[in-house]
Amino acid sequence: MNTFFGILIPFIGTTLGAACVFFMKKTLGKSVQRALTGFAAGVMVAASIWSLLIPAIKQSENMGDLSFVPAVAGFWIGILFLLTLDHLIPHLHVGSNQAEGPKSRLGRTTMMVLAVTLHNIPEGMAVGVMYAGFLAGNTQITSTGALALSLGIAIQNFPEGAIISMPLRAEGESKRKAFLGGVLSGVVEPIGAVLTILAAQLIIPALPYLLSFAAGAMLYVVVEELIPEMSQGQHSNIGTVFFAIGFSLMMILDVALG
């Protein structure tokens, strides 16, 4: 039951963030949006390092000097996985007028939701692989460590939920539809978590690869999408400051609870 609630926590964060559309004006200020994006990027980078890559290396210590191999291999598979999805799925990043992926007749709002959904996939997988390790009895992954990752991603999902629902509202969608779009962008997280748990239960020896896979996919999103968004326009240092805040918060959560 704790695992069930654990994999739902990030989705709850997205849903609460999307609900901001009912209480706030139609658009977020550019500085606010950069700050929220930077914060999310900081959380994801810290989670990738402390919750995923370091545990992946530690779990391969029996390989001696080659203990880095599963982490590096999984990391690159994660990068290539997200790169492939980027080319196969039409999507439009918030604040951009240029759609990415194959040509499509999908509306702007649909492609905006798809863009956020794309980068929620690795977050769900990250939570799933942590809980899979815990359920498998891996002594290096504790229930509090998995909870720390869930809470960290939920915290950064809150502003992400607002970042998608508010622009949808600004595009002319009703508050209800904008909220629903934000919620739908996060549905992939618990689904991805469950599928990853099922996969990891079948191939426990591959756990280090799965941990680093999730890290690679998350870092791809940070570098390809979040860092460019937080650095746009004047006074872009606000994104950098909030990146540091998000990174510090996730690091504290992981070390204190992990």
pLDDT at 195: 83
pLDDT tens digits for 220-242?
988 988 888 888 766 668 889 99
- Which two tokens mark 26? 């139609």
Cβ pair 179, 21 in contact under 8 A: yes
User: Phi and psi (nearest 5°) for 93?
Assistant: -70, 145
Q: Which residues of 217-248 are buried (b: 16+ CB within 10 A; e: fewer)?
A: bbbbbbebbbbebbeeeeeeebbbebbeebbe
Cβ pair 158, 13 in contact under 8 A: yes
Residue 100 lies in a domain: yes
Helix axis angle for 175-202 and 108-135, nearest 10°, is 30
Classify residue 61 by burial, with Cβ atoms within 10 Å: 0-12, 13-18, 19+.
Answer: exposed
pLDDT tens digits for 120-171?
888 888 888 888 878 777 666 778 888 888 888 888 888 778 877 877 777 7
Residue 91 lies in a domain: yes
- Confidence check: pLDDT of 77 > 90: yes
Residue 182 lies in a domain: yes
Cβ neighbours for 154, distance < 8 A, ≥ 6 positions apart: 9, 10, 12, 13, 14
pLDDT averaged over every residue in the chain:
82
- Confidence check: pLDDT of 68 > 80: yes
* Diameter of the chain measured on Cα atoms: 57
Number of domains in the chain: 1
Please state the rounded mean pLDDT for residues 87-93: 77
Say what the pTM is.
0.83
Task: Evaluate the CA torsion angle 44, 139, 79, 82 in order and state its sign.
Answer: negative
Residue 190 domain boundaries: 3-18+30-257
pLDDT tens digits for 11-53?
898 898 888 888 876 666 778 788 888 888 999 899 899 888 9
Residue 136 lies in a domain: yes
Residue 23 lies in a domain: no
Reported as type and span, the H/E element at residue 225 is: none
pLDDT tens digits for 173-225?
788 888 888 888 888 888 888 888 887 767 677 888 988 998 998 899 889 88
Integer angstrom CA distances of residue 29 from 14, 93, 161, 244, 252: 19, 17, 15, 20, 29
Residue 24 lies in a domain: no
pLDDT at 80: 95
Residue 96 lies in a domain: yes
